[in-house]
Amino acid sequence: MSDLSPIGLSRTHEEEWREFFRTGRVFTAPVDRERLQHRMNVNTTVLAVTGVIVALVAVGAVVAAITDFGRIATYILLILLIVAAGFVFLKFWFTRRRLRAGLASADDYLVVSAEGIRFAGHVDLPWTIVFGGIGTDMRGLSGNRPAARISRAAGVAEAEFVLGVHGIRAIRDTAPKDLHGVFEVMAHHGGIRIPLDNVVAPEFVRSSLAAISISGHLAGVRADVSTERDVVFKATMAVLGEPEKFESAMP
């Protein structure tokens, strides 16, 4: 039994969604290209600024070492700054790869039916190959600090659905290259991370989460939703892990 209360939907809404799919209807969420392009533009700026900071700190560290300027504490501080800036750069670089999937998408970013999902107009995910999923909507829960605002503006997803998929490597390899950023493949298992709030209009975010969750549950696939960070983290690890360990690993 699915539970949509974490994203603010009632049992009545859940039953309406069940009836929606039982009657053969199809849910569609189009790409919001203007919203997506704005996120890409901000992401480009953040990457450029972060790259410059990494370069300047690295140069400073080299100059300090050559001129024997400063103490050991100075070198440690500079190295820590380089590492921290490097992690920030990678975070937004991976975010950019996921945003590119939206740019490469057909006009219908997400199509959900009782049989499964068609993602970005290119990737078919019938429920028969999906073994689990976890969706979340953290909009409004991440605070309004400068770092959180920059992350949102640069495209870090606050609402997404992660699906564990059998044979994910073969699916990724046959998908268009610009979509590869949403695939997470580890050895012979993994899944697909579908960002929502940066790619579709705000009014389609909750309905996309609900459609995937209800359709999945009707097909016998556990596709939960949650806004509890520890639950989402543990469930994501279970979804992207080995299929046979999925149920035992789910929180």
The pLDDT assigned to 65 comes to 72
The pLDDT assigned to 101 comes to 94
Q: How many CB atoms lie within 10 A of CB 60?
A: 16
CA-wise closest residue to 168 among 132, 220, 195, 129: 129
**Prediction pTM value:** 0.89
Over residues 23-60, the pLDDT tens digits come to: 999 999 999 999 999 999 999 999 999 889 888 888 87
The pLDDT assigned to 245 comes to 84
What DSSP string describes 24-42?
T--EEEE--HHHHHHHHHH
Note whether 116 and 194 are within 8 A (CB): no
DSSP conformational letter for 129: G
- Tell me how far apart the 2 most distant CA atoms of the chain are, in Å: 75
The pLDDT assigned to 70 comes to 62
Q: How far apart are CA 55 and CA 48, in angstroms?
A: 11
Over residues 191-239, the pLDDT tens digits come to: 999 999 999 999 999 999 999 999 999 999 999 999 999 999 999 999 9
E strand or H helix at 85, and its extent? helix 72-103
Q: How far apart are CA 10 and CA 149, in angstroms?
A: 30
Q: How far apart are CA 236 and CA 222, in angstroms?
A: 13
Mean pLDDT of 83-105: 92
Over residues 67-78, the pLDDT tens digits come to: 766 677 777 787
The pLDDT assigned to 142 comes to 75
pLDDT at 251 > cutoff 80: no
The pLDDT assigned to 1 comes to 55
- 246 pLDDT band, cuts 50/70/90, is confident
The pLDDT assigned to 41 comes to 96
Per DSSP, which regions of the chain are E strands?
Answer: 27-30, 108-112, 116-119, 123-126, 130-137, 159-165, 183-186, 189-195, 223-225
- 17 pLDDT band, cuts 50/70/90, is very high
The pLDDT assigned to 141 comes to 82
